[in-house]
Structure 1
Amino acid sequence: MRKFFSIIGGMGTEATESYIHVLNQRTPAHSDQEYLNYILVNHSTIPDRTEYILDNSKPNPLIPLLEDIKQQSQLNPEFFVIPCNTAHYFYNQLQAATNIPILHMPKEAVKEISNVYPNAKKVGLIATRGTIYDGIYDVEINKSNYDLVKPTKHIEDETMELIYKYIKEQNKVNVSLYHHILEEMVNELNCDVVILGCTELSVAQERAADHNYPVIDAQSVLVDRTIDNALNNRKL
Structure 2
Amino acid sequence: MMLTTSEAPRRLGVLGGMGPLAGAAFALRIVQLTPASADQDHIPVLLCNDPAIPDRSTAGMGGGPSPLPAMIRGLKTLVAGQVDCIAIPCNTAHLWFDELQAESSAPLLHIVESVIQDLRRQGVTRGKVGILGTPATIAMGLYQRHLRLAGYEPIEPSHDDVHRLCVPAIAAVKRNEVERAFAPARESIQHLSNQGANAVVLGCTELPLAVPACRRAEFDVPLTDSIDALARAAIQLLRPASQGRYR
Match of 1:160 among 162, 167, 174: 167
* Candidates 22, 34, 38, aligned match of 2:29: 22
Structure 1 residues 90 and 50, CA gap change in structure 2 (3 angstroms): same
Cα distance in 1, alignment partners of residues 135 and 203 from structure 2 = 10
- Secondary structure of the residue that 2:76 maps to in structure 1? helix
Q: Cα RMSD between the aligned structures? A: 2.0
Q: Please state if 1:41 is matched with 2:48.
A: yes
Q: How many angstroms does 1:210 deviate by?
A: 4.0
What's the offset of the Cα at 1:103? 0.2
TM superposition shift of 1:123: 1.0
- Is it true that 1:228 corresponds to 2:236 in the alignment? yes
- Cα deviation for residue 10 of structure 1 reads 0.7
Given the alignment of the two structures, is residue 9 of structure 1 paired with residue 9 of structure 2, yes or no? no
In structure 2, relative to structure 1, the CA distance for the partners of 1:117 and 1:232 (3 Å cut) is closer
Q: How many residues align?
A: 230
CA deviation after TM superposition for structure 1 residue 112, in Å: 2.7
Q: What residue number does 2:98 align with? A: 92
Moved more, 65-74 or 202-211: 202-211
Superposition deviation, residue 33 in structure 1: 1.6
TM-score between the two structures when normalised by the length of structure 1: 0.90
- Unpaired runs of at least 5, structure 2: 1-8, 242-247
Aligned counterparts, 1:213-224, within 5 A: 213-224=221-232
Unaligned runs of 5+ in 1: none
2:117 touches 2:229 (CA, 8 Å); kept in 1? Answer: no
SS of residue paired to 1:199: coil
The one-letter code sitting in structure 2 at the alignment partner of 1:34 is D
1:61-80 alignment, distance < 5 Å: 61-80=67-86
SS of 1:173's equivalent? helix
